[in-house]
Amino acid sequence: MEYSLFPYEFRKNQLEILNLINDAIKGNSHLVLESGTGSGKTVCALVPTLRYALEHDKRVLYLTRTNSQQRQVIFELRKINAKEKIFGLGVQGRHQMCPSIKHDSMLANGSPDELSKVCSKRKMEVLKSISEGTTPKACKYYTKVCAEDISSVKSWAKENLPSVEEFSVKCEENGFCPYEVNKSLIRDALLVTAPYIYFFNKFIRTRILEWMGCELNDIILIVDEAHNLPDYAREIESMELGIQTLKMANKEAREFGNLRTSDGLSIKELMDKIKNIIATLQRDYLGDEDNDAFIPPGEFLSELMQAYSTTSRKLKALASDLIIHGEIIRDVRLKDGALPRSYIHSVGHFLSFWMEQQDEDFVKLIHDHGKTKLEIYCLEPALATKPLLDCHASIHMSGTLTPLEEYRDSIGLPEHTTLSSFPSPFPKENRVVFYVDDVTTRYEELAIDKGILPKMEDYLLQLSGSFQRNIAFFFPSFRLMNLFLKNGLQFCLDKRCFVEEQGMKQSEVMSIVEGFKSGSGKGAVLLSVVGGRLSEGMDYPAEQMEILVMVGIPYPKPTAKQKALEIFYDRKFGKGWDYAVKAPTTRRLLQTIGRLIRDEKDRGVAVILDRRADNFKSYLPDLKQSQDVIKDCENFFG
């Protein structure tokens, strides 16, 4: 087939990728595609989907996890527009697009649901003022959208295809609300690129389909960085209740006059009772070293029923009472100009959810002492991803989706889904991966052999000291990294050292990255964790990172939640360890090592300090055992 919209010269594998995507769209089916960085996945996904959408009255919804990925979609669309004019735009939530948030700290702390309520109220006030002939005061940006012609900004957007950030700046310069103008443009867009939540949250999905003016079967869905989807889908179907929420609900009950349920129970005392029950569960089920533990399905509710000598039926009514009180509180706060937030509502919603979910797709947990909370955790991603099956077609792309069968099965795609993997388009000789077999981070071996960690530290010091290049150390966890830091690793290194700390703000993380990238002379050392912000989605081209060391294999921590996943996958597919342990470990390995080579000119060495690396040889064709890792690295760099 001729791909007339393709704006570049074809590179290796691109025609094959285009054909696979085209076949999936034409066949009203699904494609799981793994292809490395630099293979041009974004433009390859856009060209056939846009052509088909033009000719068959369909729409393309391109889902991304980050703003930078969204900008890349718009960038490629601009290139395509040199061939044929096609309008597309990016969509973000109010947090990213509402100008009022920049000047209002209250709004900046609001949840999407709370901001939606505040926005709706202000819009109604503006419309009421206009109809009464008075001057609107609620929102100057929405007022101007209602009062003035926005066609010039819409025409500018269609001509220039701005990113969300560029669009927001343009609207704000003209005094318009970017969020509202953006909404008015969506119906005209053949392509809409949006965060995952716009599709996988059922309420927001309904809304965006209304804005687009189409049904689910009119959508060609593209999921970028799809390796994130199974965990994301589990999280949005899960719910938790922490001690802090109960404390705030207690305070709220007192603030609004010592509220009581319809049965006369004090809500303040109820919050204290739930706190005490959680403390009991923590004492009974959590060991000193445990992060989490299973709770027998009926344990929490039976404790609550026993405390109040009540029935499960009355407990459901109690949860409904809390939700109703919460709704009233939210309305009062909204009327008073505050965020419509109610902690009592949150507790009621959690209790209701806890009682509803009794099947094997969920597990109930108590979490550790540092941040004590109850959680009902979803094991089945397909509960959130099921709407994929109602789309015209779906394309799932990532540089690391191996093993593809696990991804397909996890999100509930049909067995006949096309699975395809392409190797990196970059020269094979530009990268090599070594591992050593005399160390490991396997917990049982570390407990027995106290000489393993000093030996690993010696490897890190030798690698840092032998090469005047930027080098990164990625640890399986903050706990292990902090163990090395506690022993003074950073003071023994002969380079400037940049350390990511747990809970850092994004601005602090980016400051570390920029400092590391600018390392000169002797180079610099970056210490971070596998699966974190610096090991996924961050590029380190050319000399910005030339040696990458994985301090151990990043197997998932053996928590109760992890054990539940393994049991779930074993029960459903007969592949518990493969799907719950090996698959995510493989992706973390490949994602992290993938930071080394981002274009055809990059060269680099990855070193894995763990003998278990040999278990992943089938996924790392350039993996080699090293007897002298310093000499092998020297030979590579020549």
The CATH number covering residue 331 comes to 1.10.275.40
Tell me, yes or no, whether 227 and 266 share the same domain: no
Report if residue 392 sits inside a domain. Answer: yes
pLDDT digits (tens, 9 = 90+) for 587-600: 999 989 988 887 77
User: What's the rounded Cα separation, in Å, for the pair 219 and 202?
Assistant: 15
Q: Which of 370, 393, 425 is the last residue of a domain?
A: 425
Q: Do 196 and 388 form a contact (C-beta atoms < 8 A)?
A: no
Q: Is the pLDDT of residue 532 over 90?
A: no
pLDDT in tens, 275-301: 999 999 999 998 877 889 999 988 999
CA distances from 182 to 236, 241, 554 (A): 25, 35, 42
Same domain for 417 and 432, yes or no, is no
Beta strand segments in 358-460, E: 362-367, 373-378, 393-398, 418-422, 431-435
Into how many domains does the chain fold?
3
Kindly report, residue by residue over 191-209, the tens digit of the pLDDT: 999 999 999 999 999 999 9
Closest CA to 425 of 38, 41, 15, 44: 38
Q: How many CB atoms lie within 10 A of CB 451?
A: 9
Would you state the pLDDT for residue 602?
85
The reported pLDDT for the residue numbered 595 is 85
Min mean pLDDT across 200-209, 362-371, 607-616 is at 362-371
**How many residues are recorded in the chain?**
638
Whether the CB-CB separation of 595 and 424 falls below 8 Å is answered with no
Is 370's pLDDT higher than 90? Answer: no
Query: Do 481 and 562 belong to one domain?
Result: yes
List strands edge to edge, sheet with 393-398: 88-90, 191-195, 59-64, 219-223, 393-398, 30-35, 418-422
228 and 348 housed in the same domain: no
Q: Does the pLDDT value for residue 33 go beyond 80?
A: yes
502 & 563 share domain: yes
**Same domain for 462 and 568?**
yes
Mean pLDDT over residues 514-518, rounded?
Answer: 89
Query: Are 101 and 262 within 8 A, CB to CB?
Result: no
Band of residue 537 on the pLDDT scale cut at 50, 70, 90: low
Domain-located, residue 332: yes
Within 57-163, residue ranges assigned H as helices are: 67-81, 94-97, 105-108, 112-132, 140-147, 151-160
Residue 55 lies in a domain: yes
User: Are both 364 and 384 inside the same structural domain?
Assistant: no
How many helices (DSSP H) and strands (DSSP E) are in the chain?
Answer: 29, 18
The terminus-to-terminus CA distance of the chain in angstroms comes to 45
pLDDT at 503: 84
- In percent, the amount of the chain with pLDDT more than 90 equals 80
Q: What is the pLDDT of residues 42-93, one digit of tens each?
A: 999 999 999 999 999 999 999 998 888 999 999 999 999 999 999 999 999 9
Domain-ending residue, one of 392, 425, 458 = 425
pLDDT at 1 over 60: no
CATH number at residue 479: 3.40.50.300
CB atoms within 10 A of CB 15: 14
Mean pLDDT estimate for the chain: 93
325: nearest Cα among 244, 393, 224, 253: 253
Per the model's pLDDT, the better-predicted residue between 363 and 67 turns out to be: 363
What is d(CA 614, CA 620) in angstroms, rounded to the nearest whole number?
A: 9
Same domain, 245 and 271: yes
Please give the DSSP secondary-structure letter assigned to residue 532: S
Q: Please give the pLDDT value at position 358.
A: 78
In a domain, 12, yes or no: yes
- SS3 annotation, 555-596: CCCCCHHHHHHHHHHHHHHCCHHHHHHHHHHHHHHHHHHCCC
Assigned domain for 182 exists = no
- Alpha-carbon span 29 to 52, nearest angstrom: 14
Are 50 and 5 within 8 A, CB to CB?
yes
Query: Do 625 and 508 share a domain, yes or no?
Result: yes
Whether residue 560 is predicted with pLDDT greater than 80 in this model: the reply is yes
The pTM score is: 0.92
- What is the structure's pLDDT at 2? 72
* 139 in a structural domain: no
At residue 440, does pLDDT exceed 60? yes
Identify the pLDDT of residue 128: 94
Residues 242, 226 within the same domain: no
Residue 318, both tokens: 């109690």
Q: Are strands 239-242 and 373-378 parallel, antiparallel or unpaired?
A: antiparallel
User: Do 349 and 400 have their domain in common?
Assistant: no
Q: Which residue has the higher pLDDT, 411 or 506?
A: 411
Per-residue pLDDT for 520 more than 70?
no
Is 561 contained in some domain? Answer: yes
At 105 the pLDDT is 86
Lowest mean pLDDT: which of 62-66, 140-144, 227-231, 423-427? 423-427
Residue 144 lies in a domain: no
Domain extent, residue 591, equals 428-637
CB count in 10 Å sphere of residue 429: 9
Compute the chain's Rg from CA coordinates: 27
Q: Is the pLDDT of residue 542 over 80?
A: no
230/265 same-domain check: no
Query: What mean pLDDT is predicted for residues 304-327?
Result: 93
Amino acid at site 366: I
